[in-house]
Amino acid sequence: MTEQRNIIILGASAAGLQSTHYLMKHILTSLKQHKKEAKYHVYLINPATSWWFRPASPRAAVSTTRLSAEKLVLDVRPGLAQYSKDDITFIEGTATSLDDAAREVTFVRAGSGKEEALPYHALIVATGSSTYHNAFSMSGDAQTTLDSIKLTNEKVRSAKDIVIVGGGPTAVEFAGEVAEFRNGKPGWFSSVSKKTNITLITSASQLLPVLSPSLAKAAETKLAAMGVEVRYNTRVVNTSASGERTKIHLAKGESLEADLYIPAHGVSPNTSFVPSHLLDEKKYLRTNAKTLRVDAAGPRVYALGDVGSYSRNCFPDILFALPAFVTNLKRDLLAYNAAQPDAKPKGKDREYVRDERAVQLVPLGTTGGVGAIMGWKVPSFAVWLIKGRDYMLGMENNSSGEAVKKEVVWTKEEAVV
């Protein structure tokens, strides 16, 4: 009987879907041609049948009249239908444990309390991260996120005082969206007449730390014109209920009250199923920043996207790391020798070199924004043109695999067949 070698992908967001489609379009073909002694089967495991287009969530979270939340829920199954069921299986389920010694993943299917174990020949962990406010990400079922969107919309419409915590893109974008929605658009030479008090709190000394101080200051100026007060070097200790309002306790002893409190600071990696010896001190999966392998987990285990310790929790760290990841994945799979299962492939690995130049576009409402591409400042109108119109929802192509239609060509030094 022909041996079956399972390739398991955990997570079906941007990183997981690009990994899946690349495997199916390019690597599986090579395996069928060069590794005929075994059958390879891809398993994609995700808690839901859809994925959430996270970049557009700040606008939908303010009001679905500005951007329909349903447009952000994208079904992964139609894109997988192009592949044979003999080659790939999609499982709607949640990973519950990872045994790197036994090389198997345990998961629970949606609607079932029963754990199932699945052995892997290769494993790609792309489970991403979760935000601290449910409207900005989807780590479980879509309905939880949609319910949070609905509730946030309702509170935005009636709130007199709104406090947003965070200084990154999500916090700044949400502040701009809610300010424009509640206070209106400023004139060319005038600010709005405030209808809602909006406070943006950050523990840092500037907004958008990826960008230059001048661009960060430009963001503050634009927000101020929209009626947003920015408070720097301020840390939130905790929050408590104060009737129907939220009391926000600050590190210096001060407190604020708000009708709507939005924690938009940072993310938490989705690694609850991963054994502690594979995690760093921040609970990220310890990943070789050059090869994208998880070396401590044994051969043919990889991390891509927010879940990996190499990532700065941004889409460029998926996009730009993909060529190195898929090249090394292909090398490892094609070089595999059952007589020496732990042997490393001969030749040269493809190494990911992170580009430290700023790549970030931050819309501030529907009239412009701030940003940079490869370190170069992007004019305000161009930020609107590229991202601010619909938060790039029209450019989404992960579900169908169009984003990885072109194969990464390896060099003679990287080739193993």
Torsion angle of C-alpha atoms 364, 398, 355, 383, degrees rounded to 10: -20
Q: Which CATH class is domain 160-263?
A: alpha beta
Q: Dihedrals φ, ψ of 262, to 5°?
A: -120, 110
- DSSP code per residue over 18-29: HHHHHIIIIIHH
The pLDDT value given to residue 396: 65
Cβ–Cβ < 8 Å for 127, 11: yes
Strand arrangement of the beta sheet that strand 245-250 belongs to: 236-242, 245-250, 255-258
Enumerate the CATH 3.50.50.60 domain ranges in the chain, comma separated.
Answer: 3-131+267-354+392-414, 160-263
Of the chain, the end-to-end C-alpha distance in Å amounts to 25
**Looking at this protein, which amino acid is placed at residue 140?**
G
The label of the residue with tokens 């379009």 reads: 25
Query: Residue 203: which of 271, 265, 259 has the closest Cα?
Result: 265
- The residues pairing with 263 across neighbouring beta strands, listed in sequence order, are 165
**CATH architecture assignment, domain 3-131+267-354+392-414:** 3-Layer(bba) Sandwich (3.50)
Q: By three-state DSSP, how is residue 116 classified?
A: strand
Query: Residue 237: which of 224, 226, 225, 247 has the closest Cα?
Result: 247
Cβ–Cβ < 8 Å for 196, 183: yes
Q: Would you write out the chain's pLDDT as a tens digit for each of its 417 residues?
A: 789 999 999 999 999 999 999 999 999 999 999 999 999 999 999 999 999 999 999 999 999 999 999 999 999 999 999 999 999 999 999 999 999 999 999 999 999 989 999 999 999 999 999 999 999 999 788 899 999 999 999 999 999 999 999 999 999 999 999 999 999 998 877 888 899 999 999 999 999 999 999 999 999 999 999 999 999 999 999 999 988 999 999 998 999 999 999 999 999 999 999 999 999 999 999 999 999 999 999 999 999 999 999 999 999 999 999 999 999 999 999 999 999 999 999 999 999 999 999 999 999 999 899 999 999 999 999 999 999 999 998 766 677 788 899 999 999 999 998
Helix count (H) and strand count (E) of the chain? 10, 21
Cβ–Cβ < 8 Å for 386, 361: yes
From CA 362, how far away is CA 369, in angstroms rounded?
A: 6
